[in-house]
Amino acid sequence: MDGIIQLGLPGLFISGALLLAATLFLLARRIFDAKVTYISQAADYFPLFLIIGIAATGISMRYFTKVDIIGIKELTMGLATFSPVIPEGVGGLFYAHLFLVSILFAYFPASKLMHLGGIFLSPTRNMANNTRAKRHVNPWNYDVKTHTYEEYEDHFREKMIEAGLPVDKEE
C-alpha cells in the first residue's frame, strides 16, 4: 500500500516523504512557535536532526543517487554472520545513512524518545475507568504488615518518653 502512487521509476513511497515532511514540520514548530521554543532544549533538537538526516539520506539513495544493492547485501550479510566484508561500489551516502541509524539506535534508550513505550504501558490506558465505583488494587503487590498507632506506641514507649515525646497512655 505504501507504493500505491506510481510516479515514475522508481515508484514513490509515501512513507519516506511523510517521515521527512513530519519531522520538518516538528522542527519548524519547535523553531517558530514561541511557546515550544521557550521550553526546548538542545536534547530536543538532536533526535529531530537525526531523523531528518536518516530520511534525507534514504530518500536521496532511493531516488537521486544510485547505490550498489548487491554490495549492501554483501555488507549486511557479512555483519549478520560476523564476517564483515567491505564491498566496492557502496557509496559514502549509504555509510552516512548507516551511521545516522546507528547513532539513533544508541541514543534512543537514554533519550526522551523512550517515553514512546509508556503510551502503551500506561495504567490509565490499560485500566477500566471506574475508579469511583471500584477500588483497583495492584494484584502483584505483597501484603504489607501494618500496625496501629497504639501498637507503635507500645513498642517504642520507653524511647518516646526518653526523647520527651508525648504518649497517649503512661506505663
Number of domains in the chain: 1
Residue where the block lists cell 516538528: 26
The answer to whether position 158 is within a domain reads no
Q: Does residue 153 form part of some domain? A: no
The range of the structural domain enclosing residue 87 comes to 14-126
**Residue 155 maps to a domain:** no
Query: In which residue are the cell numbers 509515501 written?
Result: 14
CATH number of residue 86's parent domain: 1.20.950.20
Domain-embedded: residue 106: yes
Note whether residue 104 is domain-resident: yes
Residue 149 maps to a domain: no
Query: Rounded to whole angstroms, how far apart are CA atoms 138 and 129?
Result: 15
Residue 168 covered by a domain: no
Residue 104 to residue 101: CA distance in whole angstroms: 5
Q: What is the pLDDT of residues 117-168, one digit of tens each?
A: 877 777 777 777 787 788 777 778 888 888 888 899 999 999 999 999 988 8
* pTM, rounded to two decimals: 0.66
pLDDT, tens digit, for every residue of 47-64?
Answer: 999 999 999 999 999 888
Asked if residue 143 belongs to a domain, the reply is no
